[in-house]
Amino acid sequence: MYKVLESPLNYGGITLKNRIIFAPTTLGLPREEQLQRLREIAAGGCAMIIIGDVPVLPHGFGPSLYNKRGFAWYRDLADTAHREGCLICAQLHQSDSNFKGMMKYIPGVLAGQISQDELREILNRNVGPYISGLPEKKVNEITSAFGTAAELAVQAGFDMVQVHGDRMCGSFSSSVFNSRSDRYGGSTEKRARFAVEAVSSIRSKLPGLPIDYKLAVRLEHPHYGNAGVLEEELGVFLPLLEQAGVTSFHVTLADHGKLSDTIPPRNHPYFGEEGCFLRFCDTVRGLTKLPVCAVGGLTDPAFVEEQLEAGRMDCIAMSRQLIADADWPRKVMEGREREINRCIRCNKECLGGMMSHRGVHCIYERKDKK
């Protein structure tokens, strides 16, 4: 029934058994609970899991590939996915938050005087000055570290890496944040240099490794997203990234705005529809022959199959839907669509759980516990 969705795909050098990927997601769960959640998602039949926010520097936020404990954690994740017949990808990133500069706000957060939304707004306000003021020597250290981190990820068992095109790559790419006057700022080509060097660093160390790129696209008229690349700049960015070694594109809306824009609920004023970011895939499709992955509000198998048949994308990435029902792929392929716990994009326990530090959950978990 879903011939394209169920079919294998050469995704930039690796073979996906079907067209379904678990999108990179900050779960905020205790380790064992997170491992169990990812085990369930892998067992549910998706082709690949992307592990979000793997730091490229030794002292980045989150588990580190550079120390024994962090490396063992990533090895556990890779082994867990592989045991269920699922591939695994490491999303490499460098934060663009000035954590030292944010220390003065910690007492206000702890006292409840600064909300999570307010803190996020403050963080975003500080991105531009921070990345615009980074010394070139530090910039070179960061872009070079992408190659080192990729080597460690492969040693830990990852099948692919994704370069996080938001975070620092996205802030360097953006004319909103990047006001540098050196070779990393100014023209579209210069603003692309950070991302290009990050990809080139990986390619120089691992010539055969598939490299996915999370392509963060921002909008004007109406304005959504602050990092990333304007649609009209994609014609410059994409060829440069391809030449550097990117083998596929994961296309989404740029971040550094409201989280409810990049994780939009069904009542979002602009991104409420099914497949809400597909318009960006349409633009990217016209500029590259590399595989394109769509993400954003994809829950209905019939709709997904129709868009795949139309060639708007080669595969899909899901987060909230696979959290709502890890068995979505298996149920779809077995003709059991009526049994699916459909994500209603309410954002109550997923985004809401993350923002309240309870971890990412789903309203269906509450129903199951009754």
Q: Is 125 a catalytic residue?
A: no
Q: Is the Cβ–Cβ distance between 322 and 46 less than 8 Å?
A: yes
CA angle 84, 85, 86 (to 5 degrees): 95
SS3 for 91? strand
User: Rounded to an integer, what distance in angstroms lies between the CA atom of residue 126 and that of residue 192?
Assistant: 20
User: Rounded to an integer, what distance in angstroms lies between the CA atom of residue 210 and that of residue 362?
Assistant: 32
Q: Is the Cβ–Cβ distance between 150 and 209 less than 8 Å?
A: yes
19, 39, 167, 345: the active-site residue: 167
Q: Which helix (H) or strand (E) holds 161?
A: strand 160-164
Q: Which helix (H) or strand (E) holds 11?
A: strand 9-11
User: Rounded to an integer, what distance in angstroms lies between the CA atom of residue 74 and that of residue 273?
Assistant: 35
Q: Give the residue numbers marked as catalytic.
A: 167
